[in-house]
Structure 1
Amino acid sequence: MTVTECGFPITLLSPAEVEQELWPLLGTMVSLNCTMQVPGSCNDSITWQKDEKAALHLYTGQSIAWNGLNSSVKILTGVLDINLTTEDDYGRFTCHLQNVSAAFTLHKTDKAGHIAAVAFALCVFALLVIGIILYLKCRLNMNLWYRDKYGDPEINDGRLFDAYVSFCPSNIDTKFTNFILKPHLENRYGYKLHLDEQSLLPSTEPSAELLMNVSRSRRLIVVLSAAYLGQEWCQNNFRDGFFRLLELSQTPIFILFENQYKDLPAEVIQLLNSQKGTLKILMWKSDSVSPASEFWKELRLALPRKISLSEGKGDPQIQCQDDKDPMLTVNSEATDLDPDGDLGVRRSFYKSPPPRIAPVTRVPDREPIEDVDISDLGSRNYSARSDYYCLVTEPEI
């Protein structure tokens, strides 16, 4: 407060601070309000200055209102409207009444800088959204590309099949496995599947045949349908059988049908969800038939990486191990690298009888030909090889 010549104090009501700083944009209008409480007998008015000079060229307005509580006091308001058209309109503006004053300092704000900052923020946000959408749409393709380029091909591991497929011999499951799953993986991507429609765990312990077949496969695929769960061993104790399956394969693949999912027992769904970190669950949907669907991409990611072979070359596993294929050699006993078999138990019925060497017969006007024993050709398994073998030579034809 300051005592004037009128003998009554003057009170500054607005602005709240004696010094005010503002950052208005160029091209806008700013109204500076200076309000004081003065004696009713004082007839002075509020004056404005810009940079300590009289602001006569700027528009000013005065208003007077009497204080309702005290008729001897009035409220004096001075408003200065500033149209910021040029940079010269910025500066320090001061309102005065007697020896009471208040100052407003107008600083120039770069409008373009704000626009650039907002535009940059919007661009970053847009790029983030586009990146998230592209990742959700193309993540499987990117993962497949990276796996096919840098992933482990899992060759030279002694396995004959890429996946062991267990399914129930029902109408739907058989059609799906034999006419959709197997042709697509084998013909399109070159995988080798071993199909087994027998009960996977019919007893308390897995059989030796099951262990041998699973050990020959790099992955375990279970077509977990309603018919599969209807088998006797699943109905009796699915939980124990499920954990035995996890012991047979590190990351088994379970294929479920979307139209049957809601009818599956709640115990089965809860058990599958509790082990999501140790298994792969794939849902066969109505749109999964397309080769570009997410089902086939996720299934390929769960299967081993396949490498392309040069023309004329066979199974890379054979090439790496220099396997002479004991099924087609004359002396199979000498070339068998693992005579005890996959299970470490020697069983004579796994070996074919030694071939008989027939005496050489003479045919007039022809070169001598050895009789070839073909008694064991029916027991040989040629489906496990991707290359071709010539069983007879050209002169013998």
Structure 2
Amino acid sequence: MAAFCSVPPEILVPATNETLELVLGSRVALNCTVRWAAAERCEPVPAWTKDGQQLSSQSSQDTTWFAQNASQRLLASVLQLNLTQDADFGVFACWVSNATATFTLRRAEAAGHVPAVLAALLVLALLMLLAGLYVRCRLSVLLWYRNRYGELEMNDGKLYDAYVSHAASPDDRKFVHFIVKPQLENRYGYKLFLDEQTILPNSEPSADLIMNVSRCRRLIVVLSVAYLEQDWCNSSFREGLWRLLELSKKPIFIVFESQYREITHPAITLLRQHRGAVTLLVWRAGSMTPSSDFWKELCLALPRKVSFQGTVGDPQTQLQEDKDPMLILHSSYLDSSADLHPDGDLGTGLRGCIFGSPPPPRIGGAAPASATQLRDSQRPELDVSDLGSRNYGARTDFYCLVTEDDI
């Protein structure tokens, strides 16, 4: 190394002592650039050391040149290193006259591929799990949300939840009466209006159809092969579908899987093209199970049902603020004989004195002694505990269960 300059050279690169984190097997070039006045009578020669040990002069490439104004000179010394082992790391110093620049090389652990692969597999498994849960539980979550926060369709003047139209064939009749009706009415509490007559004779709705559908909140059509053989389905199903869309909110069409793949009727293609305006459900072999997706999809297409506690009374009297029609006084003009109506009280078909209530008092005449004694001391207690759970929707008249004397 030549004699020191009177003024130490100015180190341009690096600006400060550098610390580099490098992985094993990498290649690095350490650049040391200095500047000094050209008037100085010195010729600086760079020298490199590693951990205090001087390296050979051939280990670096040195370049000297004048600045643009020729009043300054610059020197660049570049040291090339191949970090192939732990011994290649350390503290490297560049000495130029009486100026020093330091580089500290440290080994950094290489990022392995195993953690990245495991993280990717974990994310993929989580996505597959979420997709499986979505496919399996989507309908249950939607049904729970609808039953909890969905819109209530009450006080709308409707008497039935759904109008069910089906063909008069034995298979369709069995499907509706022994599968659809018991499941929806007994399990889910819906009330259905069943009709096996053609709903669109000559593709125009009849007065009875308009009246009956207007009393129902939804329209369900069992679209079997026998149903598609009707005249209006073969001649003008498209026009008939527009009529049904005018009469009912998003009608529900049920097709059978055994027939669905074989039916070439244009009605199926039309329903597929208008899935946004209708609900198309497929009855499959596993749909018989009460927890199958078929019943969940059907319940989602039907109105939201409201469950009431047994002690709060009938929904009609609670929500419509109406008096209970079962507690009408002086209704002796009504017939209290036995009634075999299928929608009678508790399915027994008995009216009138099912609670053992006494006959109404006679007007203008003296009450019998037995009646007087009954009023005074031996009046039977009336059991009215189940009045709130009775179904009054199908009733067309009132009952006299309580007399004025009982009150």
**TM interval, short-chain normalised:** 0.5 to 0.7
Q: Which amino acid aligns with 2:169?
A: S
How do 1:37-48 and structure 2 match up within 5 A? Answer: none
Give how far 1:389 is off.
Answer: 7.5
Does the CA-based 8 Å contact 2:200-2:240 persist in structure 1? yes
DSSP-derived class of the 1:82 partner: coil
Q: Which amino acid aligns with 1:238?
A: F
Q: 1:4-56: CA deviations, max 9, x gaps?
A: xxxxxxxxxxxxxxxxx99645xxxx498xxxxxxxxxxxxxxxx97896899
Deviation digits for residues 352-379 of structure 1, max 9, x if unmatched? xxxxxx96666743449xxxxxxxxxxx
Matches within 5 A, 1:190-229: 190-229=189-228
Cα deviations across residues 143-176 of structure 1 (Å, max 9, x unaligned)? 1111111111311211111111111111111011
How far has the Cα of 1:289 moved from its partner? 0.5
The aligned residue for residue 82 of structure 1 is: 84
Deviations 1:248-278 (A, max 9, x none): 1121110000001123234112211111110
Structure 2 partner of 1:384 = 393
Asked if residue 365 in structure 1 is aligned to residue 374 in structure 2, the reply is: no
Provide the C-alpha distance between the structure 1 equivalents of 2:211 and 2:321, rounded to a whole number of angstroms: 23
For 1:24-103, what aligned pairs fall within 5 Å after superposition? 24=23, 30=25, 82-84=84-86, 89-90=88-89
Residue 295 (structure 1) aligns with: 294
Inter-CA distance 297–204: structure 2 relative to 1 (3 Å threshold): closer
Does residue 1:175 correspond to 2:179, yes or no?
no
Q: Which amino acid aligns with 1:190?
A: G
Q: How far did 1:319 drift?
A: 2.6
- Give the conservation status (yes or no) of the 8 Å contact 1:314–1:385: no
- SS at structure 2 position matched to 1:307: coil
Q: Return the alpha-carbon distance in structure 2 between the equivalents of residues 313 and 130 of structure 1.
A: 43
User: Residues 256 and 281 of structure 1 are in contact (CA less than 8 Å); yes or no, is this contact kept in structure 2?
Assistant: yes
- Letter of the structure 2 residue corresponding to residue 247 of structure 1: E
Which amino acid counterpart does residue 142 of structure 1 have in structure 2? V
**1:150 matches 2:149:** yes
- Whether contact under 8 Å (1:155, 1:316) holds in the other structure is no
Q: Aligned residues: percent identity?
A: 50
In the alignment, structure 1 residue 264 sits paired with structure 2 residue 268: no
2:238 is matched with 239
Q: Residue 155 of structure 1 contacts residue 317 of structure 1 at CA under 8 Å; is this kept in 2?
A: no
Instruction: Give the Cα separation in 1 of the matches to 2:50 and 2:125.
Output: 45
- Provide the residue aligned with 1:276 in structure 2: 275
Change (3 A) 1:192 1:22: same
Give distance in 1, aligned partners of 2:398 and 2:108. Answer: 84
Q: Distance in 1 between matches of 2:402 and 2:82?
A: 111
Q: Which amino acid is 1:166 matched to? A: S
Distance of aligned partners of 1:362 and 1:264 in 2 relative to their CA distance in 1, 3 Å threshold: farther
Q: How far did 1:236 drift?
A: 2.6
Distance 1:390 1:266, change over 3 A: closer
Alpha-carbon deviations, 1:41-75, whole Å to 9, x = none?
Answer: xxxxxxxx97896899xxxxxxxxxxxxxxxxxxx
How far the C-alpha of 1:107 sits from its partner, in A, is: 7.0
* Alignment partners' CA distance in 1, 2:398 and 2:89: 94
Q: CA separation in 2, counterparts of 1:289 and 1:188?
A: 13
Cα distance change, pair 50–246 in 1 and its aligned pair in 2 (3 A) = farther
Shift of 1:108: 3.8
TM-score by length of 2: 0.59
- The 2-side partners of 1:53 and 1:241 are apart by 98
Q: Structure 1 residues 175, 124: CA separation in 2 closer, same or farther (over 3 Å shift)? A: same
* Aligned-partner residue type, residue 369 of structure 2: D
Measured after TM superposition, the shift of residue 215 of structure 1 is 1.1
Q: Number of paired residues?
A: 287
Q: What RMSD over aligned residues (CA atoms) do the two structures have, in Å? A: 4.2
- Is 2:151–2:304's contact at 8 Å kept on the other side of the alignment? yes
- Paired residue secondary structure (1:128): helix
Q: Classify 1:331/1:202 alpha carbon distance in 2 versus 1 (closer, same or farther; 3 Å).
A: farther
String of CA shifts for 1:216-271, please: whole Å, max 9, x gaps. 11111000000001112222322211221111112111000000112323411221
* Counterparts of 1:305 and 1:272, CA distance in 2: 24
| Structure 1 residue 297 displacement after superposition | 0.7
Instruction: Check whether the contact 2:51–2:91 (CA below 8 A) recurs between aligned residues.
Output: yes
Alignment CA distance shift 1:108-1:148 (3 Å): farther
Q: C-alpha separation between the residues in 2 aligned to 1:389 and 1:131? A: 55
Q: Is the 8 A contact 2:172 2:224 kept in 1?
A: yes
Check conservation: 1:156, 1:321, Cα contact below 8 A: yes
CA contact (8 A) 2:204 2:240 kept: no
| Letter of the 2:231 counterpart | E
- TM-score (structure 1 length as normaliser): 0.61
Separation in structure 2 between the aligned mates of residue 253 and residue 115 of structure 1, nearest angstrom? 53
What residue in structure 2 maps to residue 379 of structure 1? none
Distance of 2:324 and 2:234 partners within structure 1: 43
Query: Which residue type is aligned with residue 84 of structure 2?
Result: I
Gaps of 5+ in 2: 1-19, 28-48, 57-80, 93-103, 332-361, 373-390
**Pairwise CA distance, 1:203:** 3.0
Structure 1 residues 323, 89: CA separation in 2 closer, same or farther (over 3 Å shift)?
Answer: same
